[in-house]
């Protein structure tokens, strides 16, 4: 079963499987991820002309974002998949 584009899942892996990226707030170029941008827009950051950002769902440990995703599952965003139908 293929996942819907922009879906977020949690996995207890040390890597992001093919078709996913870690939800760590990274900036993505719109021209490479046009379908994903059409769903997410600049809701999580970016300039909306050249780039946009994924949500940052890293855990907060001692008041800081955990840059290594230590001791827990990772949030992943599907950057490939089925484009969801809109009502």
Task: For 53-63, write each residue's pLDDT tens digit.
Answer: 999 998 877 77
pLDDT at position 63 is 78
Q: What percent of the chain has pLDDT over 70?
A: 91
pLDDT at position 1 is 57
Whether 23 shows a pLDDT value over 70: the answer reads yes
CB 5 within 8 A of CB 63: no
d(CA 61, CA 65): 6
CB 66 within 8 A of CB 19: no
d(CA 44, CA 81): 20
- Residues 67/68/72/78 CA torsion (nearest 10 deg): 80
Task: For 34-82, write each residue's pLDDT tens digit.
Answer: 999 999 999 999 999 999 999 999 887 777 777 666 667 889 999 999 9
């Amino acid at each position: 079963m293929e996942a819907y584009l922009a879906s977020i899942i949690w996995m207890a892996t040390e890597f992001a499987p093919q078709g996913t990226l870690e939800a760590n707030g990274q900036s993505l170029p719109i021209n490479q991820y046009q379908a994903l941008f059409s769903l997410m827009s600049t809701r999580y950051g970016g300039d909306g002309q050249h780039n946009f950002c994924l949500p940052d769902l890293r855990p907060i440990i001692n008041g800081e974002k955990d840059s290594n995703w230590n001791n827990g599952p990772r949030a992943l965003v599907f950057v490939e998949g089925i484009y969801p139908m809109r009502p």
